[in-house]
Amino acid sequence: MLEILSLVLVIYLAWNIGGNDVANSVGISYGSGALKLRHALLLAAVFEILGVMLLSYRVNETVASGISASGNPFLLLLIPALWLSFVSFKKIPVSATQAVLGAVVGYGLVEHTLNVKAFSLMFLGWLIGPLAAFVWSFSLIRLLSGLRKGFTSVKEWMGNQRYLIIAQIISSALLAFAHGSNNAGLAIGPVYTAENPFVLAALAGFAMALGILTIGSGVVRTVGRGITFLTPLSGFVSQISAASVILFFSVTGIPVSTTHIVVSSIAGVGKGRIKTGTLARIFLYGFLTLPVTAFLTGATLILMRSVFP
């Protein structure tokens, strides 16, 4: 019975990750006008599944190793999923990584079984990833803008504006693939087993795709048009910057905050036109995510112990 409940919670958490984190992969393309909303959601769903199925195994193993050995996965899946449902209703993108890590920390501190080494690795990725994405996008947009000034027209610069739009759609697909490869482990990790990882990956992948298609539109609008004005060039640069950073961490097996990486890459191309109110709300909820899920998980575990000693 517990195994069935755990699988249901895996699907619920993966659904929420897809619905909230979909903005990470296609919000930029929607905001710049490269893709209509329904096309953006479909593109994300397809490449999200591919990323989960083909490249998520390293991150799955890392997340699994950071979870307490006694490992009742119920709270580790439920609390992050409920928090993600809440913020998705508010149309605010947050870090699913931080939501799950917070639950792991709260659980591990109460049980005294937290794998400090594995958690430290995840925490390091959480800090370095957004900074790397900001620096990369900030540098790249200025390099490409400088090169463009040497041409007399947009046609000379890249033949036609359509080339940039095509490049941005391709980078959206790459970013969706990168997101699936990294964040699926957040749902799979608490119940991950080496015996049958393919079934878990398939469940998580399709649940994430379903979340994208059913509840993802609100967060996509926030990221795509609520942070800064995006052009095809700035959208392309921010997507390539975010995707390259996320894929690097996926290959090394370190789960990162794809939300903060994408938001930081958008900020890097903003050129002073940042909507600070929206950005402040995103980072406020981002700051609250880890302590809230840690507290709720630890407090619920203590309550359950007192009720069912």
Per-domain boundaries in the chain: 2-307
Query: Which secondary structure element, helix H or strand E, spans residue 7, and what is its range?
Result: helix 2-32
**Mean pLDDT (the chain, rounded):** 81
Q: How many helices (H) and strands (E) does the chain have?
A: 13, 0
AA letter at 174: L
pLDDT tens sequence across 192-214:
665 667 777 788 888 888 888 88
Q: What is the pLDDT of residue 69?
A: 47
Helices 96-111 + 74-89 axis angle, to 10: 140
Among 209, 197, 201, CA closest to 184: 201
Find the DSSP H helices in 35-160. 37-55, 57-65, 74-89, 96-111, 116-148, 154-158
Q: Rounded CA gap, 259 and 292, in Å?
A: 17
Name the token pair of 289: 């995510």
Predicted confidence (pLDDT) at residue 81 exceeds the cutoff of 90: yes
Name the token pair of 68: 């307490």
pLDDT tens sequence across 86-136:
998 888 888 887 898 888 888 888 888 777 777 787 788 888 999 999 999
Q: What is the pTM assigned to this prediction? A: 0.80
Q: Looking at per-residue confidence, does 291 or 230 come out higher?
A: 291
AA letter at 297: T
Q: Rounded CA gap, 203 and 184, in Å?
A: 10
